[in-house]
Structure 1
Amino acid sequence: MMTNIRTKQIILISAVVLLIAFLFTRDIKGLVKPKEQTTNVPAAGQLTTPAAAEISLSEVSTEGKNVINENLAKEITALENDFKTAKGNDQVELAKTLAQKWDDVEQLVPSALYLEVIADQQKTLQSWLAAGGKFMKAYDNTKDSLMQPKLLQKANTAYTAAMAIDSMSLEAKTGLGITVVDGMGAPMQGIAMLLDVVKRDPKNAKANMSLGIFAIKSGQFDKAIIRFEDIVKVKPSPDAYFYLATSYENLGKNKEAIDAYLKSKKLAGNPTLSKFIDKKVTELKEKI
């Protein structure tokens, strides 16, 4: 019994690490992290204090400029200097430009912080959703264990503000539910939010994906299969098929796992993934 449980855990951890390495989607990467990457994320119900969630825009900007083109760095510096002295709508427009500039070079933290500036001034549903989405994307992609909880708290705050404007927004509720599951409260509260989203929109891919991943993490592979099968019926993706294959494999459904792995390989078109799946398929065929 214990051997089977350990075997499943090894398979699961291996799949998770591979998914992160292949970076199928930024959202998925953030929802399932290796244990060592989530050490400093708040435990269930352990909220990060507002003070702890503060991020220095000047510091992340300086760090970002160290890894981008020198001419672009100078351009951003000039825009930031204008931003500091601008007021009202002029400052909002500069914040939009800066958010896009940083996003274009995949520096997600400063981009998210400028989107937060916009949301603070506009206080609209869409501006808070944009900020929340960018903070979650930054959270998904950072390897900085000290930055992770701050970004998660920022995302939680943005989605909470969005929900305050429109409590019926499925995007806001999905985002908020994910932040809760990831550490901003009791996981089951977040799961309840996501279940409500799926109840209202059964084909909601993001909510279903989150619920499926949570099912994998909790060892409920049969439930995970239902979620991922629903997803691939609506919008086939390499990550959904990979998770589906992992779930099948953990239940010993090797033929189904092979089929899902091969579909993941075909959609991803990733040489490294293809090599892994070819090896995995060979191993699974020997068990049939």
Structure 2
Amino acid sequence: MKRQQIILIAGGVAALLCIYFLGQTVPAKKGTLASQNEAHTDSAATINTEALLSAAKKKLTSSQQAYITSLEASVVRGDVKTQQIRTYNQLATFWKDSARMFEPYAYYTAEVAKLENSEKSLTFAARLFLNNLRGVDEPSLKSWEASQAKELFEKALALNPANDSTKIGLGSCYIFGSTAANPTEIMQGIQQILEVARRDSTNMYAQLMLGIGGVVSGQLDKAVERLEKVVKAEPHNMEAVFMLAEANERKGDKANAIKWYEIGKRHVPNKEVVKEIEERIETLKK
């Protein structure tokens, strides 16, 4: 088990954030299309949605393909929004529960949200993409999911421009949807979140995202400052604790890295993970 897996298990689902810059080491989820060449357009850096859905259908049984085709045809024939919403919901449910493929499920959930055009449904769909792309390693798929999330967050902000959580979510799309080789987009995301943090320094979600953004962009001193603020306000926020350990380790501050790994270790129930953290600590002591 490697360091990023320790953080993932110890910090819970939200710690998928860490995989972005640590490098993915866990197996790809069942049904991922990241390695499907047919889902790519002529540009290796982009994914075509229609091709992605087509590649997903090829993984289904013949009866499942027939079912999906019939649903898709009903959307084309239907000109009533309620009928379209119902059909897209059926497609989303199928891809989630029967096919167990994330990308088509999230796509059709987003289509429902766009038709409903409510802040709640738009932000729900946006966060589906945002939370998933944090664990995606393949650049073109990461970019596609980030683009989907950005569009949804932007639509939600148009309905409620004062929602700080939505602003932070949009900024996070730039941080996690780009690569370390593209600092401009990362900084764009950080600046959007900074707008919230400067107005409300007690917003710990903003502080956490800025801390993680600092690690991604290599601004380690700022990252440590932000993350320390989070763990002071939320001492049981294990994502912040392990990110702080990582940030200090990257700085070369072994003493503080060990300190935060030790603190985080106390809240990990899995003995195997605790053992891996202890091994990491011993390595830092050398």
Q: How does 1:29-108 map to 2 (within 5 A)?
A: 29=18, 31-32=20-21, 34=23, 52=46, 54-56=48-50, 58-59=53-54, 61-62=56-57, 65=60, 74=64, 78=67, 81-82=70-71, 84-85=73-74, 87=78, 88-103=81-96, 107-108=101-102
Q: Could you report, residue by residue, the CA deviation over 1:44-73 in whole angstroms, capped at 9, with x for unpaired residues?
A: xxxxx9xx554126325426647xxx9xx9
1:269 matched to which residue of 2? 269
Which amino acid in the other structure matches residue 17 of structure 2?
I
- Give the fraction of aligned pairs with identical amino acids, expressed as a percent: 22
Distance 1:256 1:242 in 2: 11
Q: Is the 8 A contact 1:237 1:264 kept in 2?
A: no
Q: For residue 279 of structure 2, what is the aligned residue in structure 1?
A: 279
Q: Which residues in structure 2 correspond to 1:1-288 (within 5 Å)?
A: 19=7, 24-26=12-14, 27-29=16-18, 31-32=20-21, 34=23, 52=46, 54-56=48-50, 58-59=53-54, 61-62=56-57, 65=60, 74=64, 78=67, 81-82=70-71, 84-85=73-74, 87=78, 88-103=81-96, 107-181=101-175, 182-183=177-178, 186-232=185-231, 233-234=233-234, 236-251=236-251, 253-284=253-284, 286=285
- Inter-partner Cα distance in structure 1 for 2:85 and 2:19: 29
Structure 2: runs of 5+ lacking an equivalent: 26-33, 35-42
Aligned length: 255
Question: Aligned equivalents of 2:217 and 2:138: distance in 1?
Answer: 25
Q: Are the aligned partners of 1:129 and 1:171 in contact in 2 as well (CA < 8 Å)?
A: no
Secondary structure of the residue aligned to 2:115 is: helix
CA distance in 1, matches of 2:146, 2:210: 18
Judge conservation of contact 2:24–2:136 (CA < 8 Å) in 1.
Answer: no
Single out whichever of 78-87 and 152-161 deviates more from structure 2.
78-87
Aligned-residue Cα RMSD (Å) equals 3.8
Q: What SS does the aligned partner of 1:178 have?
A: helix
TM-score w.r.t. the length of structure 1 is: 0.70
Unaligned runs of 5+ in 1: 1-13, 41-48
**1:139 touches 1:148 (CA, 8 Å); kept in 2?**
yes
